[in-house]
Homo-oligomer: A and B are copies of this chain.
Amino acid sequence: MTVFRIVGFGAVLVTAAVMVTGMVAAGERPTMSQVLEDSTDDDWRKPDDAYTVYMKIPGGTVILEMAPEFAPNVIENIRKLSASGFFDGTAIMRSQENYVVQWGDPLSETDEARSHGNAAANIEAEFYRAADGLDFIAIDSRDAYADQVGFVNGFPAGKDSDGERAWLTHCYGMVGVGRGMATDSGNGADLYVVTGHSPRHLDRNVVLVGRVLVGMELLTTLRRGTGPLGFYENAEQQVPIESMRFASDLPEDQHVDLRVLRTDTETFSDLVESRRYRAEEWFVDPTGRIGLCNVPIPVRTSQ
């Protein structure tokens, strides 16, 4: 069999039951593979069905995890919209290179706009919240955009220097809520996913509600829209959303059995350090630094 040269080890999303193993470590620091190999069942959590969303598109199913700690009201509105079938038959209307894909009702600004049912039309923006009460796992990193950075239950987050406000950060794969000029206009009927280098200038300007656990490749490989801001110029180019439902609204036999690495454990601290100091033999400069959006949060499935 042909042996290929490799650039590095970038495994971010472990979607197979079999973990990547057997990388050679130089020195005593463990590699990420070793940290994951040594992890126990307690290091992994099952995402809450009440905050896990399945979105079916022609290419497959994208699975999102919501972060109710940060945007409870918008998430409840998305739950109402999803449960009422609002998203079924809507479309991905935008795919902008190195930025976002976005979906919603293509006819929202016309007389044929879909009803939002019992969901609110406007919601006070949840751009940030009080840091108080959050289990914020800080990581030591010099961040361009936030004075303190870390993770809350698997989601990347930032804090001000005084530690009073906290917010989710626009890392690759994060899910946010499109809005117009009015800050309360993002009610969850328009959603986007970050598909390029993390656009952190959007932090605290748009409500983030969660992240993609599975299926990023279904979104990132979509043709780019050729209109302004990457919107598709013709309706035929749009990618239909077949359905979007919270797992708790779906029969058990349609659930995928996922596990997400917990971020409040020693294993996670070890993982962060294994990414900061690259012990794999291939590295000649082990780096010694880590960026918030460069920390992978592994996901695995038994299927």
Residues in A lying within 8 Å of B, measured CB to CB = 2-13, 20, 93-94, 96-100, 102, 104, 106-110, 127, 141-145, 171-173, 176, 178-181, 183, 185, 190, 192, 196-206, 216-217, 220-224, 228-231, 275, 278, 281-285, 287, 289-294
Pairwise interchain contact A294-B197, C-beta atoms closer than 8 A: yes
Pairwise interchain contact A217-B224, C-beta atoms closer than 8 A: yes
Pairwise interchain contact A144-B291, C-beta atoms closer than 8 A: yes
Q: How far is the CA of A144 from the CA of B23 in the complex (A)?
A: 26
Chain B residues, Cβ within 8 Å of A100: 7, 10
Copies of this chain assembled into the complex: 2
Residue of B nearest to A195 (CB): B220
Given A7-B206, A109-B4, A178-B6, A197 and B172 contact (CB-CB distance below 8 Å): yes
- What's the minimum C-beta distance from A83 to chain B, rounded to whole angstroms? 22
Q: How far is the CA of A117 from the CA of B292 in the complex (A)?
A: 44
Pairwise interchain contact B5-A185, C-beta atoms closer than 8 A: yes
Q: How far is the CA of A228 from the CA of B287 in the complex (A)?
A: 24
Given A9-B229, A97-B13, A178-B7, A287 and B217 contact (CB-CB distance below 8 Å): no
Given A7-B192, A8-B205, A199-B294, A144 and B145 contact (CB-CB distance below 8 Å): no
Pairwise interchain contact B285-A127, C-beta atoms closer than 8 A: yes
Residue of B nearest to A296 (CB): B98
Chain B residues, Cβ within 8 Å of A223: 217, 221
12 more contacts with CB within 8 A, not counting A8-B202, A201-B289, are A2-B108, A2-B109, A7-B176, A8-B205, A13-B97, A142-B143, A145-B289, A181-B281, A200-B294, A201-B287, A204-B284, A221-B221
